């Protein structure tokens, strides 16, 4: 994982779009974004440990590639890259490939989180974010979930959504 400010240049979103300023895991934590990296043979035990600790009861696997998604590839990418939030945490363990999660900071700037195989990332409920593969067009991830999987994105604007308000309140409480 590597994080930095997005350059906000309006060209191919799959390019790195790296602005010079980098962002530390500590700064991500202040936004409620959690991160681990497990890439040994025991990665599944480690992921299961976090899942148990944080009460993630369900999981499935997703492959984001032209091959896996066929005709719906471009439309799926459009949905993932549309700025949105969820009413639960978004938990992804990257099994293979790479991609970018962009999250909004408190000044509404995009922070780009470049994720690779072995990264486990948790985006808090209510954070505005989007996802895109990089130019390799391939990412395979384990999606974990607390209760019944509910992957529905709620597109911005969703400023009155209770989970959005709860997220902002949680940042105030911890700050
Ligand atoms: C989401 O909600 O943004 C996604 O599920 C992204 C694709 S999974 C790597
Ligand atoms: Ni999402």
The structural domains of the chain, with segments of one domain joined by +, span 2-174
Q: Which residues neighbour 18 within 8 Å (Cβ) at sequence distance 6 or greater?
A: 4, 7, 112
Q: Which residues neighbour 153 within 8 Å (Cβ) at sequence distance 6 or greater?
A: 79, 80, 82, 84, 85, 86
88 alpha carbon to ligand 2 midpoint, in Å?
A: 10
| Residue 20 confidence (pLDDT) | 85
Residue 121 Cβ < 6 Å to ligand 1: no
Find the ligand nearest to 79 CA: 1
Fold of 2-174: Jelly Rolls (2.60.120)
Q: Measured between alpha carbons, how far is 29 from 111 in angstroms, rounded to an integer?
A: 13
Test site for ligand 1: of 14, 73, 90, 112, most ligand atoms within 8 A of the Cβ: 90
| Residue 170 confidence (pLDDT) | 97
| Residue 73 confidence (pLDDT) | 98
pLDDT digits (tens, 9 = 90+) for 43-67: 999 999 999 999 999 999 999 999 9
| Residue 87 confidence (pLDDT) | 94
Tell me the ipTM for this assembly.
0.95
- In this structure, the strands spanning 90-104 and 58-65 are unpaired
| Residue 39 confidence (pLDDT) | 94
| Residue 151 confidence (pLDDT) | 82
100 alpha carbon to ligand 2 midpoint, in Å?
A: 12
Q: Measured between alpha carbons, how far is 56 from 144 in angstroms, rounded to an integer?
A: 6
| Residue 45 confidence (pLDDT) | 98
Q: Report residues of the chain scoring pLDDT below 70.
A: none
CA atoms within 13 A on the CB side of 175: 13
**Structure tokens belonging to residue 62:** 């997703």
36 alpha carbon to ligand 2 midpoint, in Å?
A: 18
């Amino acid at each position: 994982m590597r994080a930095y400010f997005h350059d906000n240049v309006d060209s191919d979103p799959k390019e790195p779009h790296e602005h010079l300023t980098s962002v530390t895991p500590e700064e991500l934590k202040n936004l409620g974004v959690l991160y681990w990296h497990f890439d040994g043979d025991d990665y599944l035990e480690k992921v299961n440990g976090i899942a148990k600790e944080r009460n993630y009861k369900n999981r499935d696997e997703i492959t984001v590639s032209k091959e896996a998604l066929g005709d719906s590839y471009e439309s799926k990418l459009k949905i993932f890259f549309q700025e949105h939030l969820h009413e639960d945490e978004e938990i992804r363990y990257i099994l293979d490939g790479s991609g970018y999660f962009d999250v909004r900071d408190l000044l509404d700037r995009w922070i780009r989180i470049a994720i690779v195989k072995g990264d486990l990332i948790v985006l808090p409920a209510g954070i505005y974010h989007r996802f895109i593969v990089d130019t390799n067009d391939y990412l395979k991830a384990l999606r974990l979930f607390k209760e019944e999987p509910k992957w529905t994105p709620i597109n911005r604007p969703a400023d009155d959504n209770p989970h959005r308000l709860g997220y902002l309140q949680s940042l105030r409480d911890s700050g």
